[in-house]
Structure 1
């Protein structure tokens, strides 16, 4: 009896140890940024599941794929675990100026609001699917509360960066750097949109259940 119990316990502990090792291995395998982030077709060819994630977010929230991807490109450079730089005083690391994290550089308070609103308690800022869904959700809020078109990446990005209250305050009109950044995001979105016209049919037709025209 004791021998059988010991064998069962050993198997159980062995399975738990194996599970822990798998989790550690997965956690250490971060997705590398695309080799060429200038071309959205090459990005999606390298990571075809990202197209599916962006397409799903567009279907759900209405923000175009090219706009979603331009935001992520600007916010993190497609780096999975991106964070703001940590300032240093001599050799002492100081706290980061922001809690922004992940593909979409989402700060802790708004991420909590997103998870509460969508019921996604297991969502992660380092998962592209969740990051794109967040951008879709937040730009939808911007559209509903500020009236900014989801096809206007320049002003969408300003509101994304400043927050809805910050956009309403109008202080961004005097922030030259932010205005230049928003214009760059808009340019990137236009380029991605033009590129996507050349490859989207191929991307959509990878799945047999999608109708391709």
Structure 2
């Protein structure tokens, strides 16, 4: 085998192994302990967020599940004109937390690093902690109330204060599911720590 061919194979192997982050979802999304065992970096990130902002791990996990199913590079679907002409994405939401561009930039200026990335679990959970801490302070929400925190997260604080979610029965159902999942994760985490 020629030197060039061997070098090419080595480079190809290395490129296929180290090409960026693991953006796929963990295997068992209904088991908080299994998620954290499979992805120990999630545990570190969420515990750091809990220490910094006071948002419990189970609330973070339930919100991330709803927003991205733990897929680090999740994006909203494309919209199409006439069913075939691509018109861009539904929104600028991206990453684990599905943070919008403007809100992410506000976070970067206020509490995060200018280099923070939405597809980095540590940055994404810190963003969620920052946002939910602000919601707790400005709206009087409990940091452990995943359902109310999710409504404020989805609608924005102004929308939550105006109770815009009351005109969206589907969203109220989704928020209730986030609350139920948060409780399920809380119970599971009590046994796997």
> Do Structure 1 and Structure 2 share a fold, with TM-score over 0.5?
yes
**Could you tell me how far apart the structure 1 residues matched to 2:123 and 2:97 are?**
9
- 2:7 is the alignment partner of 1:36: no
So what's the TM-score if we normalise by structure 2? 0.88
Once the two structures are superposed, the pairs formed by residues 62-211 of structure 1 within 5 Å of their partners are: 62-89=54-81, 90-200=83-193
The alignment yields a C-alpha RMSD, in angstroms, of: 1.7
Give the SS at the match of 2:88.
coil
**Could you tell me how far apart the structure 2 residues matched to 1:41 and 1:173 are?**
34
- Provide, for residues 40-92 of structure 1, a one-character-per-residue CA deviation record: whole Å limited to 9, x for no partner: 00000101121111011000000100000110010000111111110223432
**Could you tell me how far apart the structure 2 residues matched to 1:171 and 1:145 are?**
17
So what's the TM-score if we normalise by structure 1? 0.80
Unaligned segments of structure 2, at least 5 residues = 1-10
Unaligned segments of structure 1, at least 5 residues = 1-17, 201-213
**Could you tell me how far apart the structure 2 residues matched to 1:119 and 1:55 are?**
17
**Could you tell me how far apart the structure 2 residues matched to 1:119 and 1:72 are?**
18
Runs of 4+ in structure 1 off by over 3 angstroms are none
The count of residues paired between Structure 1 and Structure 2 equals 179
**Could you tell me how far apart the structure 1 residues matched to 2:78 and 2:133 are?**
31
Question: Deviation at 1:119?
Answer: 4.4
Q: Which residue of 1 is the match for residue 7 of structure 2?
A: none
